[in-house]
């Protein structure tokens, strides 16, 4: 494989703290520019982004497509049935073909191995738009949301309640660079990957607590965060999981335990009345739409970084 590219965006902790800080600062800067109506900043002019989806999406699809075109580029959407990665087309061939046509590739896949294969065989930057293992673009957007709503990222307490999977793993990636207090409460058997937890703890930067007690986890939290109990690819387990996750719903009682300043976040899409009550997600402490908007701005800065702009 001839490799000429320098950068992918696969895990937040593939980078050092300074680089991630620079990307976050740039995101806020470009956000202001875009929101001011300024349209002369066109760094992606003449460039093409391929967006590969093996799973559904609203936010990731629209934010990458609009972000890339707002900054002058052209984005191509590839639905799951277009490529049929792994059956109609080998994953490594997807990487080699798209590298001939495009300047940058964003991919949302099932197994994490697929994003690593794309990265290995592509000669253009690969951005991880979610795998079963992690969701780095989401947590970059969430970091901006914390900076905007709490005035800081460092020292904030984030309490995640629910399934210890992809979103949690990316919080742990962030926690290995920036000092936060991250607590994660899951039912037994749904804890985050032990190696990922150990690696984040070894970094020695953040206070990391993994527990099966949601009430304990949320005490004093600045942010109470949850995600669906059945992720994409697990929807047939939804009924079973509802029983197993009993007691882990974010409701007003849990928010009250967190304290009167606690804000509610959710990466969306949400199942209202399942992992979170309608009262909380639609309530005054919920910042889900500001959070979703920051996907656009985080990703613009990530793309600027990997394209060396």
> Catalytic residue positions?
267
Q: If you compute the radius of gyration of the chain from its CA atoms, what whole number of angstroms results?
A: 19
Instruction: Give the phi and the psi of residue 250 in degrees, each rounded to 5.
Output: -80, 105
Shortest reach from residue 6's CB to ligand NVA, in Å: 28
Mask for 167-186, x = binds ligand NVA (CB under 6 A) = x-------------------
Shortest reach from residue 267's CB to ligand CP, in Å: 4
Angle at 251 between CA 246 and CA 252, to 5 degrees: 150
Is residue 51 a contact residue for ligand NVA (CB under 6 A)? no
Among 251, 304, 227, CA closest to 23 = 304
Closer residue to ligand NVA (CB): 8 or 163: 163
Closer residue to ligand NVA (CB): 232 or 290: 232
Closer residue to ligand NVA (CB): 91 or 166: 166
Is residue 301 a contact residue for ligand NVA (CB under 6 A)? no
Spatial contact of 186 and 216, defined as CB atoms under 8 Å apart:
no
CA atoms within 13 A on the CB side of 63: 24
Written as six digits, the tokens of 43 are 């760094």
Among 82, 77, 57, CA closest to 65 = 77
For residue 49, give the 3-state DSSP assignment. strand
Is residue 165 a contact residue for ligand NVA (CB under 6 A)? yes
Query: CB atoms < 10 A from the CB of 5, how many?
Result: 16
Closer residue to ligand CP (CB): 99 or 131: 131
CA of residue 303 relative to chain centroid, distance: 15
- Considering only 85, 115, 218, 228, the residue that binds ligand NVA (CB under 6 A) is 228
Torsion of CA 116, 117, 123, 127, to 10 degrees: -40
Positions 252 through 281 that interact with ligand NVA (CB under 6 A): 267
Is residue 232 a contact residue for ligand NVA (CB under 6 A)? yes
Partner whose binding site includes residue 134, from ligand NVA, ligand CP, none (CB under 5 to 8 Å by kind): none
Q: Which residue blocks in the chain are alpha helix, DSSP H?
A: 17-35, 59-70, 80-83, 91-101, 112-121, 136-150, 166-175, 194-202, 214-218, 238-244, 252-258, 278-281, 288-306
Shortest reach from residue 227's CB to ligand NVA, in Å: 5
Please give the residue ranges that form the binding site for ligand CP (CB under 6 A): 57-60, 130, 138, 267-269
Partner whose binding site includes residue 11, from ligand NVA, ligand CP, none (CB under 5 to 8 Å by kind): none
Closer residue to ligand NVA (CB): 26 or 297: 297
Shortest reach from residue 130's CB to ligand NVA, in Å: 6
Partner whose binding site includes residue 167, from ligand CP, ligand NVA, none (CB under 5 to 8 Å by kind): ligand NVA
Positions 99 through 138 that interact with ligand NVA (CB under 6 A): 130
Q: Of 4-12, 90-98, 224-232, 258-266, which part binds ligand NVA (CB under 6 A)?
A: 224-232
Give the CB-nearest residue to ligand NVA.
Answer: 231
Among 121, 257, 278, 132, CA closest to 185 = 257
Shortest reach from residue 137's CB to ligand CP, in Å: 8
């Amino acid at each position: 494989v001839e490799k000429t590219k320098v950068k992918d965006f696969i895990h937040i902790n593939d980078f050092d703290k300074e680089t991630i800080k620079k990307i976050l600062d740039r995101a806020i800067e470009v956000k202001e520019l875009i929101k001011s109506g300024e349209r002369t900043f066109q760094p992606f002019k003449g460039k093409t982004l391929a967006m590969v989806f093996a799973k559904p999406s609203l936010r990731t699809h629209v934010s990458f497509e609009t972000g890339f075109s707002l900054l002058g580029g052209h984005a191509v959407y590839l639905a799951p049935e277009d490529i049929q990665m792994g059956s109609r087309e080998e994953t490594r061939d997807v990487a080699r073909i798209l590298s001939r046509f495009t300047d940058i590739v964003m991919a949302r896949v099932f197994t994490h191995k697929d994003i690593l294969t794309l990265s290995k065989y592509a000669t253009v930057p690969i951005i991880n738009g979610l795998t079963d293992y992690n969701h780095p673009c989401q947590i970059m957007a969430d970091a901006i949301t914390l900076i905007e709503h709490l005035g800081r990222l460092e020292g904030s307490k984030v309490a995640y309640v629910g399934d210890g999977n992809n979103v949690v793993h990316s919080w742990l990636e962030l926690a290995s660079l920036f000092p936060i207090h991250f607590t994660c409460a899951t039912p037994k058997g749904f804890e985050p990957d032990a190696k990922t937890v150990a690696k984040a703890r070894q970094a020695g930067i953040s206070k990391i607590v993994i527990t099966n007690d949601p009430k304990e986890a949320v005490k004093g939290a600045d942010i109470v965060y949850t995600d669906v109990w059945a992720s994409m690819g697990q929807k047939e387990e939804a009924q079973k999981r509802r029983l197993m996750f009993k007691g882990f719903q974010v409701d007003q009682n849990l928010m009250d335990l967190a304290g009167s300043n606690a804000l509610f976040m959710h990466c969306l899409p949400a199942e209202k009345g399942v992992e979170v009550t309608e009262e909380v997600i639609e309530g005054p402490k919920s910042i889900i739409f500001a959070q979703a908007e920051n996907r656009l701005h985080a990703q613009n800065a990530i793309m600027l970084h990997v394209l060396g702009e």
